[in-house]
Amino acid sequence: MIENTRDMLGRTGLIPVDEALRILLHHLQHHTPETETIPLAEALDRVLAAPVLSPEDLPAHARSTMDGFAVRATDTFGTSESMPGYLQITGEVRMGEPPKGEVKGGSCFRIATGGLLPDGADAVIMLEHTVPVDDTLIEVVKGLGSGSNIIGKGEDIAKGALALPAGRLLRPQDLGLLAGLGISEVQVTRTVRVGIISTGDEIIPFSETPRAGKIRDINAIALSGLIRRAHARPVDYGIVSDRKEIFMPVLEQAVRENDIVLFSGGSSVGMRDLGEQAITDLGPPGILVHGVALKPGKPVIIGLSNEVPVFGLPGHPVSAMVCFDLFVRPAIDRLSGLSTDLLPEASISARLDRNMNSAAGRRDLIRVQLSRQDDIWTAEPILGKSGSISTLSRAHGYFIIPESSQGVSQGATITVYLYL
Ligand code: AMP
Ligand code: MG
């Protein structure tokens, strides 16, 4: 059982992580991303807005995949080292030029890798499987089937076939495929803009030297990095006092100018914590979730102002970054039209090197350092407070102790999700 869950009014208590995410994504389900058409050369890491069907056969003509001789496969049938066949060299395929002439029975053309298959030929015999007799005659010592060592017309991808589905994050190889098809512009979704506000009268720019009581802003730059990694665009609104009359106009501006807004600090239930009030004052729907059964990251607030998700992230940098991964990243993915099912998360299996306890009903994310011996990875938990950014900087990844578990024993095999 989860201790301290929502009450009957749904107002208080901690909400399980999956439930919080479900509530958030449910509110974003009807969102349709805006789209734009951009040059292929600028499309890396953008999300395809519409499926791409192949406009032509790739390759457009059958081509050799080996250096050798273009032949009629039947001419090689039954040949072997002890019973070679003989073929007359009657032509040569030049790279970048269409072949001249036709391969007739008992003859062959010289061909290099990538050369267009001449008429008459249906296979390429590798140089290694021939013995030159003289300039015009080869011995064939291996039989081969029709289609050997060639890539057929449309075999890579056929005209009209699905080249890339909508929602695909464009990777280098995807751009390569589109280039191969002669597609020089793509329709992608507009890059999601994410506004960031750091709150707290104690926070100063990291370029300054803190007087007693002040601390440098860690969250803005760390969250900007996470936003970029999520293929979105960070927009920094700087450090804003957590006095309402100063904070509120900046928050309102950020909501007007962005698709998502994050503020860090001021999210727990304390004297100066205006996060919940500010999101409520932005207007409906308002607060969706406040407080999640999660460590680190418990005090996160998830709200919605009209259609703009607004996240009140905990001020502690580790908590803020964990909440980003769990809640903000999926919202960015959703708003950008990304199909997350198309790309798996990077993880490895490792052996846990000590017992770790966890409260029932709470999800714990445990940061770990990895080491390897003989192909076995060992995960050493990094113990430390969520205010300690160096714990996250040292971590190679994290593993999850789920709500249903009260701990994981030393020696257990765990899945470590990697911070890449
Ligand atoms: P809060 O969520 O406002 O209660 O803050 C929790 C802790 O995180 C406090 O020690 C804050 O000083 C610290 N904190 C808040 N914002 C930042 C920030 N942008 N960078 C580094 N630490 C922060
Ligand atoms: Mg604060």
Same structural domain for residues 221 and 306?
A: yes
User: If you take atom 6 of ligand 1, which residue's CA is the nearest one?
Assistant: 315
Q: Would you state the structure tokens that stand for residue 226, as one six-digit string?
A: 């996470």
pLDDT tens digit sequence for 151-199: 999 999 999 999 999 999 999 999 999 999 999 999 999 999 999 999 9
Question: In this structure, which ligand is nearest to the CA of 270?
Answer: 1
Strand ranges for 306-362 from DSSP E? 308-313, 347-352, 356-357
- The number of domains in the chain is 4
Mean pLDDT across the stretch 1-25? 71
pLDDT tens digit sequence for 298-333: 999 999 999 999 999 999 999 999 999 999 999 999
Same structural domain for residues 139 and 68?
A: yes
144 lies in some domain: yes
- What whole-number percentage of the chain has pLDDT above 70? 96
Q: Which of 12-16, 37-41, 373-377 has the lowest mean pLDDT?
A: 12-16
CATH number where 84 lies: 2.170.190.11
Same structural domain for residues 68 and 93?
A: yes
Question: In this structure, which ligand is nearest to the CA of 198?
Answer: 1
Q: What is the pLDDT of residue 78?
A: 94
The closest of 416, 386, 91, 142 to 268, measured between CA atoms, is 386
Range of the domain at 268: 17-29+191-342
pLDDT at residue 209 greater than cutoff 60: yes
Last residue of a domain, which of 189, 205, 237? Answer: 189
Q: What is the pLDDT of residue 316?
A: 95
Same structural domain for residues 305 and 383?
A: no
CA of 382 to the centre of ligand 1 (A): 21
pLDDT tens digit sequence for 357-414: 999 999 999 999 999 999 999 999 999 887 899 999 999 999 999 999 999 999 999 9
- What whole-number percentage of the chain has pLDDT above 90? 91
Same structural domain for residues 159 and 195?
A: no
331 lies in some domain: yes
Same structural domain for residues 407 and 394?
A: yes
Q: Is 119 helix (H, G, I), strand (E, B) or coil?
A: strand
122 lies in some domain: yes
CA of 281 to the centre of ligand 1 (A): 22
Q: Which of 153-167, 229-243, 262-276, 340-354 has the lowest mean pLDDT?
A: 262-276
pLDDT at residue 6 greater than cutoff 90: no
Same structural domain for residues 226 and 320?
A: yes
53 lies in some domain: yes
4 lies in some domain: no
pLDDT at residue 273 greater than cutoff 90: no
Same structural domain for residues 70 and 125?
A: yes
Ligand 1: residues within 6 Å at CB?
198, 200, 202-203, 215, 217-219, 264-268, 314-317, 387
CA of 266 to the centre of ligand 1 (A): 8
Q: Look over the chain and give the mean of its residue pLDDT values, rounded to a whole number.
A: 94
Mean pLDDT across the stretch 215-240? 98
pLDDT band at 7; cut points 50, 70, 90: very low
Last residue of a domain, which of 295, 317, 342? Answer: 342
Q: What is the pLDDT of residue 170?
A: 97
In this structure, which residues have their CB less than 5 angstroms from ion ligand 2? 200, 265-266, 315
- The model carries a pTM of 0.92
Atom of ligand 1 nearest to the CA of 267: 2
pLDDT tens digit sequence for 57-96: 999 999 999 999 999 999 999 999 999 999 999 999 999 9
Q: What is the pLDDT of residue 345?
A: 86
Q: What is the pLDDT of residue 361?
A: 94
7 lies in some domain: no
User: If you take atom 15 of ligand 1, which residue's CA is the nearest one?
Assistant: 315
Same structural domain for residues 134 and 234?
A: no
